[in-house]
Structure formats: structure tokens, C-alpha cells
Amino acid sequence: MRTITFADLCAGIGGFRYGLEKIGWKCVYSCEVDDNCEATYKLNYKDAFNKKDIADINPLELYGVDVFCSGFPCQPFSIAGKQLGFEDPRGEVFNHILRLVDGARPAVVFLENVANLVRHNNGETFSLMVNSLKDLNYNVFYKILDSSYFGVPQRRSRVYIVAFRNDCNINDFIFTEKRTEETHFRRFIKHGDNSIPITSKWQEYIDLYTGNITINEMSFNVPKTRQTLERISPKANLNDCIFQIRSSGIRAISLDEPLPTFAVSHSGGGAMIPVYSGERRHINITEMKRIMGFPDNFKFNVSRTHVVKQLANAVCPPVIESIGLDIRNKLIQESLSSAI
């Protein structure tokens, strides 16, 4: 079977690319509107983006590419956002993906988004997307997968969509649902890296939550949502745990379980970055890379604010790698090397 080629659309920092190149696929086209993502992408892959705005791509540029990949913008469909769907301008990106698929006819379309996409607008949004691909003569399969079963120490449920062009004659497709046991965070800690220290206020918060001081001994007025912990994991040792910072309050997460979905404020200045109580610091960049499934040697040349944003918005390469293997194995099984 010849090398599978793919286009990395809405590429971000290349989570699709890292996972798929690991199994021998070849990226021949990339697109992403964010200039800071381009700096990171170019540093790691030595390629600038072919186009910035997906709306500017002519389908003829992608003719002959085997697979179109995209982690298209999730904000319009995320439970954490306003859920405006196609009324959000970012929701229009999917329509541009359809335009490119219709014009260039790749053998496979491989997409990722938040799990809530399946439920958005009582399922109508997702049904519209699936039916739109079917109308273009693609057989569509999808699955919600949790990254913690792919060696990533984070519970990050995402919906993955794989659509095969009808002439591939693939009428069934099974996603591998786990490659590892549930992955816990403890062994991914990089001890002694205090590169993102906590504030003096957070020192007091840790003293409060661990019972070293009372709320009356705090040197500042404590917001109601932070006066006590909102939730404590059953196995959490408060002196050696992760404090997850949420608008609703603070949660204590055990090191002996996956972390919750990694999502932080776009400020990236430290305020919303999880805190490791064992060393009284925010989690560091190396730990963030490990939480997302990127290697320690993945490089950044942008500000920490952008690093945090880019990682939080990325797709997890180990999950992409697994699905890529599933796709490749299905094509081999069906003797479809000629189809791509």
C-alpha cells in the first residue's frame, strides 16, 4: 500500500499531523488562521501553512489528497460556550470543509470536535453534519472516545468522525476504544519545575484547603466560590493533589486518576492553570504537553500565554494515531490500496 497523504485543515499546532506522521502518513497541505499557531507549526514541522483562511482554499489545490483532516472550531458547540452552532461565524468552517470535500473528493474525511457536538441543539446540528457528508456520497462513522484510554493522563472526551467515499465500499468501521488502561497523572509529573509559580494568594488558598489556617485568618476577602472546595476526588490527598480552577469553584483531583479536560483561560498568565499542591506551583509547560499527548521535545517560540492556549485547543496525537491505524487497517483489509 502506498503512502497515505493528508491535508491538515484547521491545523492548530499539528496534533493531527504529529499522530498521523508517526504511522507513516504524509502531510501535503496545511491551513490555519492563527499566526501564533503558524510559528509553532513551522518550528516543529519546518512548513509554513499553505493557506491561512480555509475560505480562501480552492478545492483544486487539494485534488488527489487521500484524507482531509480537521479539528474544526469547537467553541460554537462546546458546553462551556454559548453553543451558537452555525450562528457563530466559526461554525461556518464546517461548510467550507464540505465545499472542499465536494470539490476534491478525498477517499476519507477525518474530523474531531467536542463530545457535546453530538448533543447540540437536541442532536439536530450533528445530524445535519452527518447527512451533509452522506449527501456528498460518503459513508459516515463516528465515536466518542476518552483520551485517558490512549496513554494520555486526561479525561478528554471528543467525538471523532471518519467518512469513506462511497466507492471505497466500506460499510462498517470500528474505532479502537482503548489502547491502554485508564492513564493516571502521577507518573507524568515533572518534579522540581517551578517555572509557573503561584501567587501569595494561592499560597494562602492551599493553607486554607489543607487546614493549616481558617478562613478568618486569610489576609483578603475570599469569594464565596472559593471559601471551600467545590469537589474533592475520593482518593485525593489535599497536600499532594491537583487543584482545578473553575468559575464555579475549586476542585481537588487525585494524582492517581486522569486529570479533567485540560482547558484554561486564554490569558494563560497563570490564574486558571491547575495548581499542584505538592510543590505549591502551577503545572508547568512540560506537564501540559504530556497531558495533551505531545512529546517533551515539542517546541514553542511564542509567549507562554499562547503556548497554554495552543495546547488547550489541540487534538491529542495518540488518539489520532490510533484512529489513523484503524483507517489504514480497514483500507488494507478491504484491499483498497487502489482507491487511494
Give the integer Cα–Cα distance in Å for 128 and 98.
12
Residue type, 245: I
> What is the percentage of the chain residues whose pLDDT exceeds 90?
84
- Whether residue 292 is contained in a domain is answered as no
- Residue 201 sits in the same domain as residue 276: yes
Domains in the chain, number: 2
Alpha carbon distances (Å) from 172 to 105, 144, 219, 259: 20, 17, 62, 33
Q: Are 110 and 162 in contact (CB under 8 A)?
A: yes
pLDDT tier at 293, thresholds 50, 70, 90: very high
Of 72-76, 181-185, 295-299, the range with the lowest mean pLDDT is 72-76
- Whether residue 308 is contained in a domain is answered as no
Neighbours of 136 (CB within 10 A): 16
Report the residue count for the chain. 340
* Residue 73 domain boundaries: 5-183+315-339
Instruction: Give the pLDDT score at 247.
Output: 86
More confident residue, 229 or 77: 229
Q: Are 204 and 218 in contact (CB under 8 A)?
A: yes
CATH assignment at residue 178: 3.40.50.150
User: How would you label 51-78 residue by residue, b for 16+ Cβ within 10 Å and e otherwise?
Assistant: bbebeebeeebbeebbbbbbbbbbebbb
- Whether residue 309 is contained in a domain is answered as no
Instruction: Give the pLDDT score at 83.
Output: 46
More confident residue, 272 or 327: 327
Characterise 3 by phi-psi region: left (phi > 0), alpha (psi -120 to 50), beta (else). beta
- Residue 51 sits in the same domain as residue 196: no
Residue 230 has pLDDT above 50, yes or no: yes
Give the integer Cα–Cα distance in Å for 188 and 258.
10
Active site residue 74: yes
- Residue 50 sits in the same domain as residue 111: yes
Residue 86 has pLDDT above 90, yes or no: no
- Residue 154 sits in the same domain as residue 96: yes
Mean pLDDT estimate for the chain: 92
pTM for this structure?
0.92
Instruction: Give the pLDDT score at 82.
Output: 53
- Residue 172 sits in the same domain as residue 212: no
Q: What is the pLDDT of residues 177-205, one digit of tens each?
A: 999 999 999 999 999 999 999 999 999 99
- Residue 162 sits in the same domain as residue 259: no
- Whether residue 98 is contained in a domain is answered as yes
pLDDT tier at 89, thresholds 50, 70, 90: low
Domain boundary among 283, 298, 328: 283
- Of the listed 27, 69, 74, 241, which one is catalytic? 74
Instruction: Give the pLDDT score at 264.
Output: 75
Give the integer Cα–Cα distance in Å for 221 and 204.
12
Please report, in angstroms and rounded to a whole number, the separation of the first and last CA atoms in the chain.
9
- Residue 95 sits in the same domain as residue 171: yes
Contacts of 201 (CB under 8 A, 6+ apart): 220
Q: Which residue has the cell 486529570?
A: 259
Q: What is the pLDDT of residues 91-147, one digit of tens each?
A: 688 999 999 999 999 999 999 999 999 998 888 889 999 999 999 999 999 999 999
- Whether residue 294 is contained in a domain is answered as no
